[in-house]
Amino acid sequence: MVTIKSEGGTGKILIIGQTLDKLTGGGITISNLLSGIHSENIAVITSPKQAPKTNDEFCRRVYQLGTEELKVKFPLSLLYPAYKSGPVKVIEQNSNRLSIENSKRVTARAIFITLAHFFGIYHFLYKLELSGKLRTWIQEFNPDFIYTQLSTRELINFTEVITNEYKKPLIIHIMDDWLLTINKVGIFRHMWDRIIDKEFRNLLKLTNSRLCISDAMSEEYSKRFGGSWLSFHNPVMNERWIPFQKNTYTKGLVFKILYSGRIGNANINSILAFCELINELKRNGMSIVFSIYSPEYNLEKFRKYDDSPAILLNKPLKHDEMPELYSKFDLLFLPIDFDKLSIKFTRFSMPTKMSEYMISGVPILIHAPEEIAIVKFAAKYNIAIISSKNGIGSLREILLDLINNDEARQKVALNAVSVASDKFDGIKVRKNFQSLFMK
């Protein structure tokens, strides 16, 4: 295997535990943060839960964890799909998937996992091991640094094994406060909380740099775990966005609202409530449309909107198509659910799309609990209209006022562009981030 010398003095980086749609999609794209580093100097060990997909401009070495590394115990093993371990070509999709799951098995596995959490056996069911094939692959790449965005217990332990074996500097990056939500309701929940907290703290002893996604999370984790935690949010490449920045805020014949991004447990209820509100306004004669561009556009809960003229469900576009897409809308919607678990999970997080929402010049409406970081950030810098009460009545009132107030929309949009240019500029953020990987 040919070794390429690093550009700009940065070393070769081994990324553990990422699915590549997160690396090169619309979230905190590590490809943004590592832009400019030769693709031969980046290697990824990726989850088997999604087929690898990226482009060779970012990364040319991908190892898919499969049956040789991921050990699933009986009886869950009967419900878990088989994946082949080993390097995959980045241009291939689903190439190493050995089985296509049917809906009955997916449902059965979900039920079993729920019961496993309740009875306290979930964390006994999975284990990641360092196989001989993976050892050879890592040795051939010969990394200078290890980087991971942790999110599960098995990744904590797997990262510790790799770090101890290869003695390379470790950099961890925390996106959400998943440590408080990883254990579901169950009779041994508090026991597992203590175990995982101890394992996480042991891994922290091996780290060279500790990173978080927001200033609020950095402050919290410094209090909770000690040490210095740096804040790195998703940077924006201004040159991609400036040509499409919105610069007119007069309401048109149809008021167009966009949600772009993932739909999951922490925002689905707020999105569904907003859909109901938009449908109601449409039935009452308002010219309004809510467009959703998401990988989860075909979720069963959204099927009732298939024939709605006010709710348009779409597959996500490519990342380089997003600037032009955003510019066609009058408002961007950013929701977080109001239940205790969602608040706990997102309290210190910054949605990774936020920086791109801001630089687009399109006004932003945030519908989220007042105690979470994104609401506090938006209020501090006046970069969005905030709806912080859990109720359709309050949201309706704020939305109607916003639709009829061109000046208010323009004010927050221009503030957002200014703050994004100052805090999330790709050149500045990348320079600081990549300095952590200097040889």
The reported pLDDT for the residue numbered 98 is 40
Confidence of residue 19 (pLDDT cuts 50, 70, 90): low
More confident residue, 159 or 3: 159
DSSP reduced 3-state for 300: helix
- The percentage of residues in the chain with a pLDDT greater than 70, rounded to a whole number, is 90
What one-character DSSP code corresponds to residue 425?
B
Best CA proximity match to 296, nearest among 332, 259, 330: 259
Q: How many CA atoms lie within 13 A of 288 on its CB side?
A: 22
CA dihedral in degrees (307, 308, 314, 320; nearest 10)? 150
Compute the residue count for the chain: 439
Whether the predicted pLDDT of 34 surpasses 60: yes
Query: How far is residue 78's CA from residue 99's CA, in Å, rounded to a whole number?
Result: 12
DSSP-assigned letters across all residues of 80-93? S--B--EEE-TT-S
Whether the predicted pLDDT of 81 surpasses 60: yes
Q: Per mean pLDDT, which range of 7-16, 64-73, 200-209 is the poorest?
A: 7-16
Strand 70-72 and strand 126-128: the pairing is antiparallel
Mean pLDDT value across residues 363-379? 96
Mean pLDDT value across residues 130-138? 97
Residue type, 366: I
Instruction: Look at the pTM and tell me if it is higher than 0.85.
Output: no
The reported pLDDT for the residue numbered 91 is 57
Task: State which CATH number among 3.40.50.2000, 3.90.220.20, 3.40.50.2300, 3.30.300.180 fits the domain covering 13-235+428-437.
Answer: 3.40.50.2000
Mean pLDDT value across residues 356-373? 96
Whether the predicted pLDDT of 318 surpasses 80: yes
Identify the architecture of domain 239-423 in CATH: 3-Layer(aba) Sandwich (3.40)
- The percentage of residues in the chain with a pLDDT greater than 90, rounded to a whole number, is 63
Residue 365 neighbours by CB under 8 Å, 6+ apart: 257, 331, 332, 333, 334, 384, 385, 387, 398, 399, 402
Question: CB–CB of 390/368 below 8 Å?
Answer: no
CB atoms within 10 A of CB 291: 18
Confidence of residue 17 (pLDDT cuts 50, 70, 90): confident
pLDDT in tens, 274-295: 999 999 999 999 999 999 999 8
Question: CB–CB of 157/192 below 8 Å?
Answer: no
DSSP reduced 3-state for 171: strand
First to last CA, the chain: 21
Q: Per mean pLDDT, which range of 104-113, 206-215, 309-318, 321-330 is the poorest?
A: 104-113
Place of tokens 């009452």: 284
Q: 63 — phi, psi (to 5°)? A: -115, 125
Mean pLDDT value across residues 173-186? 85
Q: 290 — phi, psi (to 5°)? A: -115, 115
Confidence of residue 24 (pLDDT cuts 50, 70, 90): very low
Confidence of residue 55 (pLDDT cuts 50, 70, 90): low
The reported pLDDT for the residue numbered 90 is 67
Query: How far is residue 353's CA from residue 27's CA, in Å, rounded to a whole number?
Result: 6
Mean pLDDT value across residues 18-23? 50
Question: CB–CB of 322/243 below 8 Å?
Answer: no
pLDDT in tens, 137-174: 999 999 999 999 888 899 999 999 999 999 999 999 99
What one-character DSSP code corresponds to residue 125?
S
CB atoms within 10 A of CB 119: 11
Delimit the CATH 3.40.50.2000 region(s) of the chain.
13-235+428-437, 239-423
Whether the predicted pLDDT of 3 surpasses 80: no
Query: How far is residue 424's CA from residue 421's CA, in Å, rounded to a whole number?
Result: 6
More confident residue, 439 or 146: 146
The reported pLDDT for the residue numbered 286 is 97
